[in-house]
Amino acid sequence: MRTPFIAGNWKMNKTPDEAIAFAREIRYELNNIDGVDIAFCPPFLAIPGVADAVKATKIGVGAQNMYFEENGAYTGEIAPNMLTPFCDYVILGHSERRAYFGETDEGVNKKVKKALEHGLTPIICVGESLEQNEAGETHSFVSGQVRAALAGLSAEQVAGLVIAYEPIWAIGTGKSATSADAGRIIGVTVRGTVAAAFGESAAQKIRIQYGGSVKPDNIAEYMAHPDIDGALVGGAALKPSFVDLVRGAV
Ligand code: PGA
């Protein structure tokens, strides 16, 4: 009942011209793939051009970050109403933002609320480090991240969100989590935490992606797990073979 959702996180790659050319190169092939929602998340400056390139297709556009204030003296930040003319989604709390730019659970929660106020669908990223994984702390850590990110929301709001479970040790490393492990953490930890806090109905509706070294040749394994609703894709979203990856998801 949950439509699979594949989002490409282009990170700090592609100039606006390159981004538009790439979107044009693959947009129609992607548009022909039924049964899956798709989004491109380019760098900020490429967002208007990419949004224009995909406007006649089913491909959505997402930002990679957003600030939690409406406007004002916040040098270097982007306000929600600067995104809404172009974007459907916004990635919030990516592990790179948490690791390099000091993002906290509290800040992610504020951003989630602000995005929802503006009608943007958050893609909330959670995931444990290698040390936490090896210490057996994955469940408690990820469950805490989920509870913190969703604090103060209604069950109805939570039902419409997207969460991406991305073990940090699997991002950009080529070391992906097994489908069984990712599915268990997504099902038991992420969906289970949502169920405990917001009820079974919200937990059955919320879409939960896996992220971390997803490729055209492993996407089908992840999608075969009933709790995995799609993927947040980094490196493999930068190449034309992203089309094969999306095809593999349905
Ligand atoms: P990757 O990145 O697919 O390059 O591992 C995933 C992500 O960070 O969202």
CA of 50 to the centre of ligand 1 (A): 20
The active-site residue out of 96, 103, 128, 166 is 166
Q: How far is CA 136 from CA 129, 131, 133, 173, 210, in A?
A: 11, 9, 5, 21, 19
CA of 242 to the centre of ligand 1 (A): 13
Q: What is the DSSP letter of 84?
A: T
Identify the pLDDT of residue 200. Answer: 98
Q: Is 156 a catalytic residue?
A: no
3 state SS of 11: coil
Calpha distance 210→229 (Å, rounded)? 8
The active-site residue out of 94, 96, 103, 225 is 94
Calpha distance 151→41 (Å, rounded)? 25
Calpha distance 219→129 (Å, rounded)? 22
Choose among 109, 115, 215, 213: nearest CA to 160: 115
Angle at 24 between CA 19 and CA 25, to 5 degrees: 95
CA of 199 to the centre of ligand 1 (A): 30
Calpha distance 97→190 (Å, rounded)? 20
Beta strands in the chain (DSSP E): 5-9, 37-41, 60-63, 89-92, 121-126, 162-165, 207-211, 230-233
CA of 136 to the centre of ligand 1 (A): 23
**Measured from the CB, is residue 234 less than 6 Å from ligand 1?**
yes
Q: Which atom of ligand 1 is nearest to the CA of 9?
A: 9
CATH code for 5-247? 3.20.20.70
pTM: 0.98
Are 190 and 144 contacting, i.e. CB atoms less than 8 angstroms apart?
A: no
Nearest CA to ligand 1 atom 6: 234
Strand pairing of 60-63 and 37-41?
parallel
Tokens standing for residue 198: 């917001």
Identify the pLDDT of residue 109. Answer: 98
Domain map (residue ranges) of the chain: 5-247
Q: Is 128 a catalytic residue?
A: no
Which of 124, 213, 219, 242 for a ligand 1 pocket mutation test, highest count of atoms within 8 Å of Cβ? 213
pLDDT per residue as tens, the chain (250 positions): 899 999 999 999 999 999 999 999 999 999 999 999 999 999 999 999 999 999 999 999 999 999 999 999 999 999 999 999 999 999 999 999 999 999 999 999 999 999 999 999 999 999 999 999 999 999 999 999 999 999 999 999 999 999 999 999 999 898 889 999 999 999 999 999 999 999 999 999 999 999 999 999 999 999 999 999 999 999 999 999 999 999 999 9
The residues near 65 (Cβ < 8 Å, ≥ 6 apart) are 78, 90, 91, 92, 94, 97
